[in-house]
Structure 1
């Protein structure tokens, strides 16, 4: 299996059990070794008292992109630590894109950056996640 085929198989297995991402209307747009792109439209239920997208939903989108990016080699990886910096507000109806990429993967630890943008290409948030591999595989082989 090529690295791309492995990444696609791992993403399919992870997606099958990811009810949080699915129920929030996220779409897995692209997967490749060490990278993932997910999109989500901000709904009325995702807005806060300021009339902007609640930061928790933006974080969740970025965290999902991080999860898919760090699980492309069939070794279960989980988030060990993550931080987000909000750059600009998002609003109801905005289509957000979270593009995650591997910065480093050594031993059991990985570092991943995710940039969240809106449909105009404006940066909404920057996220950095640290992953840790755990026992098991996604494909069960």
Structure 2
């Protein structure tokens, strides 16, 4: 993991507890901070369970890869952040066996809000498969009950 910030332990804990990403085989390639902005790269192989009736990767799986990358990038700077919304544009198809790589980079943070761009590409040829713009919201300190405690 790339780290220009002082500590990424909080992101490592978040990733270790991310059962959804683990179940899909999403691999963390890189997470860090550059110029004060979080960034992350992940990878996923399109499996038979991810292919829809058209014989292509279901858009929900492409978005999930992007969303996992989004979470890593917008939490890398130490702000406990969650998704407030996102827009996805599907650019090209992915097929069974394709290896997809997602790269997310925080564009800007303002107040407790932020914008993060995520690009999902086919590893073999670099073709862009999807583009996502995520909107994040940092939790206020009073809402942070511990390491990803969701009991309230």
TM-score of the alignment, normalized to the shorter chain, above 0.5: yes
- How far the C-alpha of 1:5 sits from its partner, in A, is 4.1
Q: In the alignment, what sits opposite 1:130? A: 135
- Runs of at least 5 residues in structure 2 that lack an aligned partner in the other structure: none
Q: CA deviation at 1:107?
A: 1.3
- Ranges in structure 1 where 5+ consecutive residues have no aligned partner: none
Q: Does the alignment pair 1:16 with 2:16?
A: yes
Candidates 35, 41, 44, aligned match of 2:45: 41
The answer (yes or no) to whether the contact 2:5–2:77 under 8 Å persists in 1 is no
| Deviations, residues 59-110 of structure 1 (Å, cap 9, x unaligned) | 0000000000000122210000101000000000000001000100111000
Q: Indicate the RMSD between aligned Cα atoms, in angstroms.
A: 1.7
Partner of 2:118: 114
Question: Which runs of 4 or more aligned residues in structure 1 lie more than 6 Å from their structure 2 counterparts after TM superposition?
Answer: none
The number of residue pairs the alignment matches comes to 138
Query: Which structure is richer in relative contact order (CA contacts within 8 A, separation 6 or more)?
Result: 1
> Which secondary structure state, in structure 2, belongs to the residue aligned with residue 40 of structure 1?
strand
Structure 1 segment 42-81 matched on structure 2, within 5 A: 42-81=46-85
Check whether the contact 1:11–1:71 (CA below 8 A) recurs between aligned residues: yes
